[in-house]
Amino acid sequence: MALTLSGPSSVQGQQHIITVLVENHPGVLARVSGLFARRGYNIESLTVSITENPDVSRMTIVVGGDELVLEQITKQLNKLIEVMRVVDYTEFAAVERELALIKVNAEPRDRAEIMQIVEVFRARIIDMGERAFIIEVTGGTDKIDKIRDLLAPHGIREMVRTGVIAMARGSRTA
Amino acid sequence: MSLSGAQVMLECLRREGVAHVFGYPGGSVLPIYDALYDCRDIMHVLVRHEQGAAHMADGYARATGKVGVCLATSGPGATNLVTGIANAYMDSIPMVAITGQVRTTVIGKDAFQEADITGITIPVTKHNFLVKNAADLPRTFAEAFHVARTGRPGPVLVDMPLDVSQQRIEWSGDQYPLKVDMPSYRPTTRGHEVQIKRAAAAIAQAARPVLYVGGGAVSSGAQAEVTELAERTNILVTTTLLGKGAISEAHPLCMGMLGMHGTAYANHAVHNCDLLIAIGARFDDRVTGKVDRFAPGARVIHIDIDPAEIGKVRQPEIPIVGDVKTVLQVLLKHVEPRPAGEWNEQIEEWRQRFPLVYPRDGGLYTEAIVEHIGEATEWKAVMATDVGQHQMWAAQYFRTRAPRQWITSGGLGTMGYGLPAAIGAQFARPDERVVCLSGDGSFQMCTQELMTASIYGLPLIVCISNNRSLGMVRQWQEMFYHERYSHVDLEQSPDFVKLAEAYNCIGYRVTTLEEFRAAFAAALEQTNRPVVIDCSVTGAENVFPMIPSGQTVNEMRMHTRLEELRSAPNADPEGWSYDEEDQKLSQIVDAGHGGAQKEN
């Protein structure tokens, strides 16, 4: 699969979180991700999961670009037969969350400080080894970037992030 | 009644009214060919290469508006279709490509003649399907044809594994959906009424409007509406390469093609207009050149059935998403008559000052060949071209009377397209004269289909504009690469007359215009045998006018002998002039071959 994943520094213009509701068919992920690669759009992150309706999958894609680029992306996505709906969450209030697991070096002399950081960020230590912790943290992208930066001086051995998921506030649905 | 998947597939094609399938057999489609063995009502045309099958289905679709169907086996058969599918995709041509696939049990195991054709064709199909159960065939084919022909038309591929073709299912005949409902696919055909009224107001206000008409007007069958709009408002029309035929090119309001090799007057008109009315056109780079200098002072109305075309290249002030014919019918209710004014006179002045010219000195020029084909067939021939200089000369000089008379590879620019596309068109319109204009380069890319034309006794006329080089590439090397002629020399080609004869066609070689006329007259006598005319044309000619890639009308290069040739006698030959028959012609074509657009 040809995903163009690039760091936040490469983002041109605004970041947009778009939700794409697709028919839950084999190969639909390839159609969507291929479209981004083919038309030269950058995906910052992409998550896919089933929804309340088992026939429908939901993709949450964070993409960089100005309004015109986003308009083209939305229109091109809508042309895919299996795409049912495309919603841009930049347009209205939405809750955004991402989950990260961070394995950080934890020498005895550093543990207190790390635990303090974890507490301030309302993260959790979910595994504690002799030399390293695994920290689980949930929140917006900014928050996760921030805790990553604070943990970095201790030495991050490994990090995995789910990518953003989003949901509209109130009773509105995608 | 128990039927195999292959037999069910044929039932599906019958339900869709398919009369012709262009195909080539192989291991994974053996059950389908076994079913075809008993089939009398669907004609299978055996091609010589699968690429030919795809182009034939494409030519068939362009000549009729119906969905063209091609069939190939798995692996190499399927991959050989890809160029033809991509060609249809770029030009929005309705097509259903059926491919065999290895058994479902070995898919993904690198089985013999396995290719992931649904994966390969995602970027070049409107949609594709891999059928895993014969019971899904009726719905799949109904959706495939529906998607191919509705909205912005395009190719759809259906991949059928061998075991699905063999699988037997109970068939009662009523499994085929009478109506297709796809919740995630509902194209907008009716334009927004408010926007249409705004467009009418903009037309009323404009001092220097131009109609810029593309292939969407042809595929929606809107010739009558385009002509009516032009006539009522006296707005001059320029068409794209694929828009040819959306209005008769003998119409006094038609300026011919615009863009890189368009007429100078059409390009000047577009450059200086204050309102550009884009109808089923997509602001292709061969039309616009440098985008931000294209029609720089114009407000833009953009009518297109594909929302993604709106604002893709040029942001319109008035976007209208909908089927061209439907939108124009509503627009015509709001548009007031408008007299011809100074703007029309200005364009006429450009037309006089910058006409299309070539030396009418009796020499064998491709332009002269094109004009003679037109005159000898009363401009009624279905004209299929290949790609290159001859294509551009044909676009300039073949004055299309009716839609679906002009068959050319626009977006993809596929050399080798012409001959098979002409064959497809001839199957679609057996009683009409189909002419293929090719080049010595293009012709050699699908020559093998001469055998197909010959076996089926098609009275095709293939004219090869033989300049013993890859003319368009040579022209670019001359103009932009310091005359460094790298690998464009085709002096060593086969003897095309002998080649034609080897394929049981008639072959002529001509070196003068006089000889060409005689050979063409003889070819017109043929009723059941293809004729190949190898025309040894004057070499090293360039196509003018030309706006170099990415530049503007200010950099347009005119014919180097424009001044001299403009004042020469017969600069504007007597063609046919626009008459009532032209409108009648288009209506006949629409009635006979229409139905490209169904209401959704």
Q: What is the pLDDT of residue A172?
A: 87
Q: What is the pLDDT of residue A1?
A: 31
User: Per-residue DSSP letters for B515-555?
Assistant: HHHHHHHHHHH-SSS-EEEEEEPPSS---SSB--TT--GGG
| pLDDT classification of A8: cutoffs 50, 70, 90 | very low
Domain boundary among A27, A54, A88: A88
C-alpha distance from A169 to closest chain B C-alpha (Å): 25
Q: How many C-beta atoms surround the C-beta of residue B168 within 10 A? A: 12
CA-based angle B8:B14:B17, to the nearest 5?
150
Average pLDDT for chain A = 90
- Mark yes or no for CB contact A81/B182 under 8 Å: yes
- Mark yes or no for CB contact B126/A72 under 8 Å: no
- Interface contact A30, partner B, CB < 8 A: yes
| pLDDT classification of B585: cutoffs 50, 70, 90 | low
Are residues A59 and A109 located together in one domain of the fold? no
| pLDDT classification of B571: cutoffs 50, 70, 90 | low
Which residue from A38, A92, A36, A40 is spatially nearest to A59, judged by alpha carbons? A36
Q: What is the pLDDT of residue B277?
A: 98
Q: What is the pLDDT of residue B582?
A: 75
Q: What is the pLDDT of residue B249?
A: 96
Mean pLDDT on A87-96? 86
Separation of alpha carbons B24 and B335, rounded Å = 51
User: Among residues of chain B, what percentage have pLDDT more than 90?
Assistant: 92
- As its CATH architecture, domain B366-544+557-567 has 3-Layer(aba) Sandwich (3.40)
Q: What is the pLDDT of residue B599?
A: 36
Domain extent listing, chain B: 2-170, 193-355, 366-544+557-567
B125 neighbors B85 (Cβ within 8 angstroms):
yes
ipTM of the modeled complex: 0.88
Pick the CATH number of B193-355 from 3.40.50.1220, 3.40.50.720, 3.40.50.10860, 3.30.530.20: 3.40.50.1220
Question: From the list A27, A68, A83, which residue is nearest B311 (CB)?
Answer: A68
- Mark yes or no for CB contact B119/A30 under 8 Å: yes
Are residues A100 and A141 located together in one domain of the fold? yes
- Mark yes or no for CB contact A72/B127 under 8 Å: no
Token match 């594994």: residue?
Answer: B161
Mutation to test the B interface, candidates A23, A69, A70, A79, most B Cβ within 10 Å: A79
Digit-coded pLDDT (tens) for B32-55: 999 999 999 999 999 999 999 999
Digit-coded pLDDT (tens) for B70-96: 999 999 999 999 999 999 999 999 999
Are residues A125 and A158 located together in one domain of the fold? yes
User: Among residues of chain A, what percentage have pLDDT more than 90?
Assistant: 79
Q: Tell me, yes or no, whether A102 lies in a domain.
A: yes
Digit-coded pLDDT (tens) for B168-198: 999 998 889 989 999 899 999 999 999 999 9
CATH topology for the B2-170 domain: Rossmann fold (3.40.50)
Are residues A123 and A69 located together in one domain of the fold? no
Are residues A29 and A82 located together in one domain of the fold? yes
For the cut 70, the answer to whether the pLDDT of residue B504 exceeds it is yes
Q: What is the pLDDT of residue B284?
A: 97
Are residues A17 and A73 located together in one domain of the fold? yes
Q: What is the pLDDT of residue B327?
A: 98
Q: What is the pLDDT of residue B586?
A: 58
Stretch among A87-96, B246-255, B331-340, B556-565 having the lowest mean pLDDT: A87-96
Which domain CATH number covers A128?
3.30.70.1150
| pLDDT classification of B539: cutoffs 50, 70, 90 | confident
Strand partners, B324: none
Torsion angle (degrees, nearest 10) of CA B401, B345, B548, B59: -10
| pLDDT classification of A13: cutoffs 50, 70, 90 | low
Q: What is the pLDDT of residue B587?
A: 60
Widest Cα–Cα separation across chain B? 76
Digit-coded pLDDT (tens) for A161-173: 999 999 999 988 8
What total of structural domains would you count in chain A? 2
Give residue A133's Cα distance to chain centre: 23
Comparing alpha-carbon positions, the chain B residue that sits nearest to A32 is: B122
User: A-chain residues within 8 Å CB-CB of B183?
Assistant: 84
Q: What is the pLDDT of residue A7?
A: 40
Are residues A58 and A128 located together in one domain of the fold? no
| pLDDT classification of B581: cutoffs 50, 70, 90 | confident
Digit-coded pLDDT (tens) for B409-442: 999 999 999 999 999 999 999 999 999 999 999 9
- The residue segments making up the domain with residue A21 are 8-88
Are residues A31 and A98 located together in one domain of the fold? no
Digit-coded pLDDT (tens) for B223-236: 999 999 999 999 99
- Interface contact B308, partner A, CB < 8 A: yes
Separation of alpha carbons B22 and B34, rounded Å = 16
Are residues A12 and A56 located together in one domain of the fold? yes
Answer left, alpha or beta for residue B540, where phi above 0 means left and psi between -120 and 50 means alpha.
left
Domain boundary among A58, A88, A118: A88
Structure-model confidence comparison of residues B288 and B568, the more confident one: B288
Q: What is the pLDDT of residue B596?
A: 40
Digit-coded pLDDT (tens) for B142-169: 999 999 999 999 999 999 999 999 999 9
Give residue B460's Cα distance to chain centre: 18
Are residues A140 and A80 located together in one domain of the fold? no
| pLDDT classification of B600: cutoffs 50, 70, 90 | very low
Mean pLDDT on A29-43? 92
Domain boundary among A37, A62, A88: A88
Domains B193-355 and B366-544+557-567 share a fold: yes
Q: Tell me, yes or no, whether A173 lies in a domain.
A: no
Are residues A68 and A126 located together in one domain of the fold? no
Token match 């690669």: residue?
Answer: A37
Q: Tell me, yes or no, whether A2 lies in a domain.
A: no
For the cut 60, the answer to whether the pLDDT of residue B588 exceeds it is no
- Interface contact B127, partner A, CB < 8 A: yes
Which residue from B189, B157, B140 is spatially nearest to B69, judged by alpha carbons? B157
CA-based angle B509:B560:B551, to the nearest 5?
105
Which domain CATH number covers A83?
3.30.70.260
Token readout for B553 is 């009308």
User: B-chain residues within 8 Å CB-CB of A80?
Assistant: 127
Q: What is the CA radius of gyration of chain A?
A: 18
Separation of alpha carbons B487 and B481, rounded Å = 13
Average pLDDT for chain B = 95
Comparing alpha-carbon positions, the chain A residue that sits nearest to B153 is: A79
Q: What is the pLDDT of residue A84?
A: 96
Digit-coded pLDDT (tens) for B380-416: 999 999 999 999 999 999 999 999 999 999 999 999 9
| pLDDT classification of A3: cutoffs 50, 70, 90 | very low
Are residues A77 and A104 located together in one domain of the fold? no
